[in-house]
């Protein structure tokens, strides 16, 4: 879309939405007016999540602006969360970015199906760990200073429908559009046709929020279309299917949508989708899997797939269950051992992230561009 070549502040999409939510909530008498100018300025310009979210509502931190308490456990939890977010970005997202950039730069007539699938899967993991990593770092920084921000991701690739996906992905943005656009338009209260219209409008605006490009418009309309189709009856049909079928459907739609999100032009996106469907035009002689797949990438893919599921929290829960079965002396030894192991693991992640940062090139967070 043709737009003037303006230089806009980093993170304008995020802090503008925060300011808008405050003004709208005051207008609706949902929150009292904050009469102290420095406190409202602190809310809008709160630095941990200023650049790339999560989008924080005023009512969620109003009391914390004046009465927050910094505690040692909170500081420790904030540091832990920050390091894990940094590791997601530096050790997973940045490594995945290398094959993604190369694959999406392949000319359309030379794409092969296997390479296209590798590129899309890598990009799906890259954008998840890039964005959720930043959210983890923002939540961790806020925790260090006594703020408690709401979670922004809940294992989105475990979704069984696209509706479920948007309850798990970029939760602060989807809830913002729900409360300030979808519901004011009428939501689902004025019949099915208006409900479908409202869904399409919301996700068209969501696409434009990410950028004034036809690919973002297509990405938004793609999600809006599938949400409308699910409302039309697909969700009920899927509910009667096996969970593996539901997950396969959701993942297929999500991966296809990321093609629009990543490609620079619609023609490139159609070529990539055609390659994914088996209609690739490349011979595989010049661009083949061997150019992109190595031990490092396979390891990162394996770690990324595991980390995008609740497997690690499940293991932590099992450890807590085992701890409860121990005697008092055994629990103390167990606690010391697990604490030392966690500190050692965090130090390894932190130092490895710093090493990658020092050795690698500048690779900013993907959502810095929005």
Residue 208 lies in a domain: no
- Whether the per-residue pLDDT at 35 is higher than 90: the answer is no
Average pLDDT over residues 119-134: 95
Tokens 């394996």 — which residue? Answer: 302
- Pair of tokens at residue 88: 């997601």
Of 179, 178, 136, residue with least CA distance to 154: 136
Residue 24 lies in a domain: yes
Residue 25 lies in a domain: yes
Confidence at 315, pLDDT banded by 50, 70, 90: confident
Q: What is the predicted pLDDT for the residue at 21?
A: 92
Residue 53 lies in a domain: yes
Mean pLDDT for all residues in the chain: 88
Confidence at 281, pLDDT banded by 50, 70, 90: confident
Sign of CA dihedral 34, 51, 158, 356: negative
Q: What is the predicted pLDDT for the residue at 362?
A: 56
Q: What is the predicted pLDDT for the residue at 341?
A: 83
Task: Please give the positions annotated as active site.
Answer: 210
Determine the Cα–Cα distance for residues 370 and 365; give it in Å rounded to an integer: 10
Confidence at 364, pLDDT banded by 50, 70, 90: low
Query: What is the number of structural domains in the chain?
Result: 1
Determine the Cα–Cα distance for residues 348 and 340; give it in Å rounded to an integer: 12
Confidence at 224, pLDDT banded by 50, 70, 90: very high
Residue 39 lies in a domain: yes
Determine the Cα–Cα distance for residues 101 and 333; give it in Å rounded to an integer: 47
- Whether the per-residue pLDDT at 368 is higher than 70: the answer is no
Q: What is the predicted pLDDT for the residue at 182?
A: 92
- Whether the per-residue pLDDT at 220 is higher than 70: the answer is yes
Q: What is the predicted pLDDT for the residue at 15?
A: 82
Predicted confidence (pLDDT) per residue in 5-24, tens digit: 666 667 777 888 888 999 99
Residue 264 lies in a domain: no
Residue 19 lies in a domain: yes
- Pair of tokens at residue 211: 């950028």
Domain that holds residue 52: 12-67
């Amino acid at each position: 879309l043709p737009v003037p070549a303006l230089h806009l502040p980093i993170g304008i999409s995020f802090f503008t939405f925060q300011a808008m939510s405050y003004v709208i909530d005051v207008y609706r008498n949902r929150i009292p007016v904050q009469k102290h100018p420095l406190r409202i300025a602190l809310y809008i310009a709160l630095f941990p999540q200023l650049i790339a979210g999560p989008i924080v509502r005023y009512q969620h931190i109003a009391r914390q602006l004046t009465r927050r308490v910094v505690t040692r456990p909170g500081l420790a939890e904030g540091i832990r969360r920050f390091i894990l977010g940094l590791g997601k970005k530096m050790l997973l997202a940045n490594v995945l970015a290398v094959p993604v950039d190369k694959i999406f730069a392949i000319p359309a007539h030379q794409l092969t199906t296997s390479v296209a699938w590798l590129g899309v899967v890598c990009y799906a993991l890259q954008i998840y760990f890039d964005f959720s990593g930043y959210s983890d770092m923002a939540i961790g920084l806020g925790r260090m200073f006594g703020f408690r921000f709401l979670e922004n991701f809940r294992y989105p690739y475990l979704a069984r429908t696209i509706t479920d996906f948007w309850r798990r992905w970029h939760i602060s943005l989807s809830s913002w559009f729900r409360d300030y656009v979808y519901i004011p338009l009428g939501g689902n209260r004025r019949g099915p046709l208006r409900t479908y219209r409202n869904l399409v409008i919301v996700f068209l605006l969501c696409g434009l929020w990410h950028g004034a490009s036809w690919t973002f418009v297509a990405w938004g309309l793609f999600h809006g279309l599938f949400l409308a189709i699910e409302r039309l009856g697909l969700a009920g049909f899927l509910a009667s299917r096996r969970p593996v079928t539901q997950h396969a459907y959701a993942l297929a739609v999500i991966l296809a949508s990321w093609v629009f999100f990543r490609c620079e032009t619609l023609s490139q996106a159609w070529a990539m989708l055609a390659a994914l469907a088996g209609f690739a035009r490349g011979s595989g002689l010049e661009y083949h899997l061997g150019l992109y797949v190595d031990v490092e990438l396979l390891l990162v893919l394996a770690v990324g797939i595991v980390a995008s599921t609740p497997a690690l929290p499940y293991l932590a829960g099992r450890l807590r269950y085992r701890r409860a079965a121990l005697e008092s002396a055994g629990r103390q030894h167990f606690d010391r051992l697990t604490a030392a192991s966690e500190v050692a693991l965090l130090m390894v992640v932190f130092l490895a992230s710093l090493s990658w940062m020092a050795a690698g090139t500048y690779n900013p967070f993907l959502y810095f561009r929005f």
